[in-house]
């Protein structure tokens, strides 16, 4: 989704902001643009529909690209088509102010009509353009850039993360946020503004996460943060604690493949330091603020979107099994608009890799406004959901760049299994069971590695379905959400229509689709319901369906039912999803790659969906 990068300092801003934009390509976008103040103190703007390379191709020669202050943007269209005119930055009538904006201005029609009455003319269909005109309007009454920004932004309803430059204030940049993330990076005699730390981490690891309603004024020597009412804010500087290599592809062809292969480590990072062997339990420090309350919780609601919603479904399965607490799982987008009932004694969990998904954030606020305690399960440290939750658990998966979420999913599931044991151990679970769980969890990273070592075989299986137009994924129990996740991965990056189903539901509809062209990817592991799923496979086979099976190592008898089999190691039932999802991730990856598609930036998708 939309990305912002800005630079103020002694260096030439243009290569820095263009480089930063490229680091944000993974978020998904359909146009890009830059603005800077040149050496003659003139505002220069270049923008273009399409990819950043198209923008670069139309830029003037490097000698004309020189300035110490600049802003840049990648746009994911909401208001208005993805055209060059609608691309950011947008300018005022007098061509002095240039604005880049993430978020949505809800009262933009109203503001636009008023500005038109005043004589302003608009070029684009975007909500953003009104900001540039509003700044111009308030500049008539004020000669202080910060005060102009505060007055303009007080009129704006909706969400924004913005960066603004103006040729009348050639050494100053203004940035502000309300509901859309914005980060100030602090370098030596230079500052950065971004909506995503990935864009600036190669330059600095010292950052300030701006809060809603804050405005920052920056020049090359200093910055000052104020509220919209011009009160000075004493902000806290944080250190980014991960390495730049996290946002490099290394030897991998795609970020998605790199992230799939990182899972032995990322899963270990999700549980390391949280297992208390001596007491056969787990420790979740981030939840301790209401550890006692958690002992008394009567029900749980988990709210999420996309892949995080699939991990929530697995969480439901494991928590109900181990802690005997009823769990409801909700799509955030539905939850926020249906006046949810939150019974006394309910703890709400929100799960979000990015910590910025607009629907999940709104659902969190809705739950809090009804008096519920909300715990956030997030990856991005300092993200809005992490900050607004009452307490929470970080999954520590490291930066996830591929739009199709992979390692965040397994880290979420790992953390949810820890949560289930944590809650279960307060009441029902024996020390013996937990000791066994801890022992098994320690073995998971090497078992994931074993599945990854089978990558060549999985690629061969992918070759057999590369021309399919549909696919069905079946699983039961905790592997039903894994089937959903496998189908989602295939849809997202290969554009093959795929559906996930609980295997026994197949006979209530999807069975009508089965013929010799339909690949049915079935998770059939040696667990309590193995025999049941074998019956479902027989039903597919009887109708000439092509069965591709994910099976437990050693289960050779399943080969007679299957066109191909991918084996995974045996583990405890509740930990199986951590292994069964890996071949499905690889399968989707290889199908998309064999089809020659852009795996890391699939069409129309965004990594972090910060609008409704
Ligand atoms: C987008 C991404 C998905 C992700 C979903 C929820 O749709 O493309 O990969 O699962 O948002 O994101 P979150 O950051 O809240 O987990």
Least confident of 244-248, 370-374, 492-496, 547-551: 244-248
Residues across the chain: 612
* Cis amide linkage into residue 128, ω under 30° from 0: no
Query: For residue 269, is pLDDT > 80?
Result: yes
Edge to edge, the sheet with strand 519-524 lists: 497-502, 470-475, 519-524, 546-552, 564-568
Are 358 and 336 in contact by the 8 Å Cβ rule? The answer is no
Please name the residue whose Cα sits nearest to atom 5 of ligand 1.
306
Tokens for 102? 């993430």
CA distance 240 to 288: 24
Structure tokens of 169? 């204030």
93 tagged catalytic:
no
Residue listed under structure tokens 């004694």: 345
Q: For a substitution probing ligand 1, which of 76, 302, 306, 604 has the most ligand atoms within 8 Å of its CB?
A: 306
Catalytic residue among 51, 96, 178, 607: 607
Nearest Cα to Cα of residue 269 among 379, 352, 350: 379
Query: Looking at ligand 1, which atom is closest to the CA of residue 357?
Result: 15
What pLDDT, on the 0 to 100 scale, is given for residue 512? 87
Distance, CA 609 to ligand 1 centroid (Å)? 7
Average pLDDT for 577-582:
98
Q: What is the DSSP code (8-state) at residue 97?
A: E
User: What is the tens place of the pLDDT at every residue in 492-523?
Assistant: 999 999 999 998 888 898 888 888 899 999 99
- Average of per-residue pLDDT values in the chain: 93
For residue 117, give both structure tokens: 């009455």
Long-range contacts of 268-274 (CB under 8 A, 24+ apart): 268/445, 269/396, 269/397, 269/398, 269/411, 270/395, 270/396, 270/397, 270/410, 270/411, 270/414, 270/415, 270/418, 271/414, 271/415, 271/418, 271/441, 274/418
CA dihedral 135, 138, 143, 148 (to 10 degrees): -60
- If one residue of 405, 491, 599 were mutated to test the ligand 1 pocket, choosing by the most ligand atoms within 8 A of its CB, it would be 405
* Ligand 1 atom at minimal distance to the Cα of residue 354: 14
289 band by pLDDT with thresholds 50, 70 and 90: low
Residues 212-234: what's their mean pLDDT?
96
**Options 2, 166, 305, 434, the catalytic residue:** 2
What pLDDT sits at residue 290? 54
Helix (H, G, I), strand (E, B) or coil at 412: helix
Q: Does residue 2 carry a catalytic annotation? A: yes
Centroid of ligand 1 to alpha carbon of 356 (angstroms): 9
Q: Which residues line ligand 1 (CB under 6 A)?
A: 305-308, 352-354, 357, 360, 403, 405, 605-609
Query: How many Cβ atoms from other residues are within 10 Å of residue 570's Cβ?
Result: 17
Nearest ligand 1 atom to the CA of 606 is 8
Q: Ligand 1 centre and the CA of 229: distance in Å?
A: 35
Structure tokens belonging to residue 265: 């480590």
CA 48 vs CA 28, 101, 193, 218, 282: distances in Å: 15, 16, 21, 27, 52
pLDDT digits (tens, 9 = 90+) for 153-187: 999 999 899 999 999 999 999 999 998 889 999 99
Is the per-residue pLDDT at 78 higher than 80? Answer: no
From 311, 312, 354, 404, mutation site for ligand 1 pocket: most ligand atoms within 8 A of C-beta: 354
Residue 556: count other Cβ atoms within 10 Å of its Cβ.
10
Instruction: Measure 360 CA to ligand 1 centroid, in angstroms.
Output: 10
Using CA positions, which residue lies closest to atom 8 of ligand 1? Answer: 607
Please determine, for residue 609, whether its predicted confidence score (pLDDT) is greater than 80: no
Q: Which tens digit of pLDDT belongs to each residue from 454-494?
A: 999 999 999 999 999 999 999 999 999 999 999 999 999 99
Q: Determine contact, residues 472/498, Cβ cutoff 8 Å.
A: yes
- Residue pair 389/409 in contact (Cβ under 8 Å)? The answer is no
Closest listed residue to residue 272, CA positions, set 419, 378, 395, 354: 395
Name the 3-class secondary structure at 485: helix
Distance CA(436)–CA(439), nearest Å, equals 5
- DSSP per-residue letters across 319-360: HHHHH---EEEEEHHHHTTS-----TTEEEEEEESSS--HHH
- Give the residue, out of 181, 307, 361, 411, with the most ligand 1 atoms within 8 A of its beta carbon, to mutate for a pocket test: 307
Q: Looking at residue 110, what is its pLDDT?
A: 94
User: What pLDDT is attached to residue 292?
Assistant: 59
Share of the chain above pLDDT 90, in %: 78
SS3 per residue for 269-324: HHHCCCEEHHHCEECCHHHHHHHHHHHCCCEEEEEECHHHHHHHHHHHHHHHHHHC
Ligand 1 mean position, distance from CA 351 (Å): 10
Distance between Cα 448 and ligand 1 center (Å): 23
pTM, 2 dp:
0.82
Residue 6 phi, psi dihedral angles, 5° rounding: -140, 150
Degrees, nearest 5: CA angle 334-338-343? 105
- What spacing in Å lies between the alpha carbon of 610 and ligand 1's midpoint? 10
């Amino acid at each position: 989704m939309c990305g912002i990068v800005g630079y103020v300092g002694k260096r030439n801003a243009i290569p820095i902001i263009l480089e930063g934009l490229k680091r944000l390509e993974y978020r998904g976008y359909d146009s890009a643009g830059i603005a800077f103040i040149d050496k003659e103190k003139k505002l220069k703007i270049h923008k273009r529909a399409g990819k950043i390379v198209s923008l670069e191709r139309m830029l003037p020669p490097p000698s004309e690209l020189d300035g110490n202050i600049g802003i840049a943007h990648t746009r994911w269209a909401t208001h208005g088509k993805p055209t060059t005119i609608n691309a950011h930055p947008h300018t005022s009538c007098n061509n002095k102010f240039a604005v880049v904006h993430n978020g949505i201005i809800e009262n933009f029609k109203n503001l636009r009509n008023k500005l038109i009455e005043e004589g302003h003319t608009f070029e684009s269909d975007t909500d953003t353009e009104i900001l540039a005109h509003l700044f111009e309007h308030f500049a008539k009454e004020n000669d202080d850039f910060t005060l102009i920004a505060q007055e303009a932004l007080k009129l704006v309803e909706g969400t924004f993360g913005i960066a603004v430059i103006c040729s009348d204030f050639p050494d100053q940049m203004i940035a502000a946020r309300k509901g859309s993330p914005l980060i100030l990076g602090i370098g030596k005699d230079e500052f950065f503004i971004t909506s995503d730390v990935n864009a600036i981490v190669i330059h600095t690891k010292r950052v300030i996460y701006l809060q809603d309603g804050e405005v920052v004024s920056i020049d090359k020597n200093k910055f000052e943060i104020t509220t919209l009412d011009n009160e000075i804010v004493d902000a806290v500087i944080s250190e980014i604690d991960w390495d730049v290599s996290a946002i490099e592809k290394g030897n991998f062809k795609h970020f998605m493949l790199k992230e799939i292969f990182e899972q032995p480590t990322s899963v270990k990072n999700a549980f390391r330091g949280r297992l208390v062997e001596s007491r056969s339990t787990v420790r979740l420090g981030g939840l301790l603020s209401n550890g006692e309350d958690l002992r008394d919780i009567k029900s749980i609601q988990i709210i999420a979107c996309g892949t995080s919603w699939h991990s929530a479904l697995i969480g439901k399965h494991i928590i109900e099994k181990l802690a005997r607490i009823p769990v409801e799982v909700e799509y955030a987008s539905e939850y926020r608009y249906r006046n949810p009932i939150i019974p006394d004694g309910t703890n709400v969990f929100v799960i979000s890799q990015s910590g910025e998904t607009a629907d999940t954030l709104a659902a969190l606020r809705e739950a809090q406004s009804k008096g519920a305690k909300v715990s956030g399960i997030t990856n991005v440290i300092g993200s809005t959901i992490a900050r607004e939750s009452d307490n929470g658990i970080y999954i520590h998966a490291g930066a996830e760049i591929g739009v199709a979420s992979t390692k965040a999913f397994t880290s979420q599931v790992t953390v949810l299994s820890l949560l289930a044991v944590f809650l279960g151990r307060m009441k029902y679970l024996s020390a013996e069971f937990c000791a066994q769980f801890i022992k098994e969890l320690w073995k998971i990273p090497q078992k994931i590695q074993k599945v990854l070592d089978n990558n060549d075989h999985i690629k061969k299986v992918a070759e057999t379905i590369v021309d399919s137009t549909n696919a069905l994924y079946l699983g039961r129990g905790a592997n039903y959400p894994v089937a959903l996740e496998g189908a989602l991965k295939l849809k997202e990056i290969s554009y093959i229509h795929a559906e996930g189903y609980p295997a026994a539901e197949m006979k209530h509809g999807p069975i009508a689709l089965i013929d010799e062209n339909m690949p049915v990817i079935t998770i059939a592991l040696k667990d309590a319901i193995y025999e049941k799923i074998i019956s479902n496979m027989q039903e597919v086979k009887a109708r000439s369906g092509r069965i591709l099976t994910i099976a437990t190592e050693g289960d050779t008898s399943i080969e007679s039912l299957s066109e191909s089999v991918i084996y995974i190691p045996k583990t405890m039932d509740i930990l199986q999803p951590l292994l069964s999802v890996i071949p499905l991730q690889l399968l989707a990856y290889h199908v998309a790659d064999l089809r020659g598609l852009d795996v890391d930036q699939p069409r129309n998708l965004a990594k972090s969906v910060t609008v409704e």
